[in-house]
Amino acid sequence: MSEAAQDTDDPTPVMCVHGWGGSFTDTWERNGFTALLADAGREVIGVDLLGHGQAPKPHEPEAYADLTTRVVSSLPDSPVDAIGFSMGALTLLRTAVEHPGAFRRLVLAGIGRNVFEFDEDRSAAIARAVSGDIDDEDNLSRLFAQYAARPGNDPTALAAVLRQPQRVRLDEAALASVSCPTLVIVGDRDFVHPADRLVEAIPDCRSVELRNVDHFATPDDFGFVDAALEFIGAIPT
């Protein structure tokens, strides 16, 4: 058992936050991840970010200026373990910076160089594709558009998320304040790869690289599941 693993009777709840275009149910329940947490005796706090799942879905980009609100409102009085994918991981990371002590352990999947290298043109192109203006030669934008069109999604709301007015971005100085042990998991075929700069910026951080895994496959990858559960000490009995 690794030094990260905790007592199997650990009562610490686990917060799970999905990525853009997903939901708590679609990302964490569908693949059995929450069932594994339950098998380990861990309570799950499921969060649907604004514009997703069962959350309200406003169509104005300004409504999405602070995505941390639904995370913060779901936090109990004591620290929790938290696992986030993609936009959910970014949202948890910002929460850790702005609310020290909120998390005991933090797992960030599907983020890396994009924390520092935000591409406004790329985000705008994806938003256009989600809104129906699809460039058939832009494979990444086309994939995002297909993801947005899945049942239960509101493409107009999801495009608004991408067009949100950007708050002050995270940098090394901000990330230096993250006090909880953190694990970054990223696939070597993910467009956010590599995550070296992010890992180096967080004081108590380690990383796992998933071989032959792209961005969208990350939450379902066995390597991700094993690494995340082990890190928070939630190995099913």
pLDDT in tens, 8-40: 578 999 999 999 999 999 999 999 999 999 999
> What is the mean predicted confidence (pLDDT) over 214-237?
94
Weakest mean pLDDT among 44-48, 76-80, 164-168, 208-212: 164-168
Domains of the chain in sequence order = 14-116+168-231 (3.40.50.1820)
The whole-number average pLDDT for the span 47-55 is 98
Q: Residues near 31 by Cβ (< 8 Å), separated by ≥ 6?
A: 219, 220
* Rounded-to-integer distance, Cα 53 and Cα 107, Å: 21
pLDDT band at residue 4, thresholds of 50, 70 and 90? very low
**Number of Cβ within a 10 Å radius of residue 212:** 10
Sign of torsion over alpha carbons 167, 126, 33, 45: positive
The answer on pLDDT for 222 being more than 90 is yes
Give the residue-averaged pLDDT of 153-171: 89
- What is the reported pLDDT for 8? 52
CA nearest neighbour of 229 among 14, 59, 65, 11 = 14
DSSP annotation of 58: -
pTM here is 0.93
pLDDT digits (tens, 9 = 90+) for 185-218: 999 999 999 999 999 999 999 999 999 999 999 9
Quote the percentage of the chain above a pLDDT of 70.
95
Distance CA 97, CA 63 (A): 21
86: its two tokens: 């993609």
Q: Which contacts of 137-143 are long-range, i.e. CB under 8 A and separated by 24 or more positions?
A: 140/191, 143/216
Helix (H, G, I), strand (E, B) or coil at 101: coil
| pLDDT on residue 2 | 39
User: What is the pLDDT of the chain when averaged over all its residues?
Assistant: 93
Dist CA 21 CA 123 (whole Å): 14
For residue 56 the two structure tokens come to 């309200």
Q: Which of 14-28, 69-83, 135-149, 220-234 has the lowest mean pLDDT?
A: 135-149
Locate 185 and state its tokens.
Answer: 């998991």
Q: What is the per-residue pLDDT for 5?
A: 42
Evaluate if residue 168 carries a pLDDT over 80. no
Banded model confidence at residue 7, pLDDT cuts 50, 70, 90:
very low
